[in-house]
Amino acid sequence: MKIFVWAFIAVILLFFACGSSKKSSKADTVSGATVTKSITEIPDIKPDNMTTKAIIFLYSFHHGNTRKIANAIAPEINAPILNVNEINIDSIDFSKLEGYELIGFGSGINSDKHYQLLLDFAESLPTVTQKKAFIFSTSGIYNEKQMEINHKTLRNILQNKGFVIVGEFGCPGYNTNSFLKHFGGMNKGRPNAEDLKNAVEFAKKLVSEK
């Protein structure tokens, strides 16, 4: 009887641990994707050398899961990556976004939504008119239905700001939060080569439909 009870408790804990993430102070470790150098301010648009006027706003830490996806997408749309945790929102020049045609937003998922730092950044953006945006994420539990739920908060913020969401991407990410670290974590090795390939295809579609 005791074995049954402990097994039941373990299943319940696993369910809740997979649906949320616990913050970690560990730095990103990136592998399996072409690394795109990050920046700390919005660069000026130079039409003569930018075939796609795009930029990506990213918050990724712990295992760097979402950074791997950003690094797969960025070269395909010729987009710099700006880490929202490395900028001062009060001093950033948001007027430079006027020249961009496509803006990406991505982070891991915490309690069925993007991390609060990215949500706060999105809330700080000025109102725009029909500017195209895309959303991406990695999460402990992933399927199309769950992605719709996970992206809802950020999607609503961006749409209320005037953005038009032209694409959304998600995939599983390596998770060692809570007691999972004692069992090697879940989704080990994710995002994998197939996930990165899918991210590249997603990016190509964004450009082809521009």
Q: So where are the chain's domains?
A: 2-208
43-72 residue pLDDT tens: 888 655 556 699 999 999 767 899 999 999
How many CA atoms within 13 Å lie on the side-chain side of 76?
A: 21
The residue among 144 and 175 whose pLDDT is bigger is: 144
pLDDT class of 9 with cuts at 50, 70, 90: very low
Instruction: List all residues 6 or more positions away from 96 whose beta carbon is below 8 Å from its beta carbon.
Output: 42, 43, 44, 45
Q: What is the pTM of this model?
A: 0.78
Residue 93 pLDDT exceeds 80 = yes
Residue 96, burial from CB neighbour count under 10 angstroms (0-12, 13-18, 19+): middle
108-126 residue pLDDT tens: 999 999 999 999 999 999 9
Can you give the pLDDT at residue 113? 96
135-165 residue pLDDT tens: 999 988 889 999 999 999 999 999 999 999 9
Calculate the alpha carbon distances from 7 to 50, 182, 185, 194 in Å.
56, 16, 18, 33
CATH code reported for the domain at 2-208? 3.40.50.360
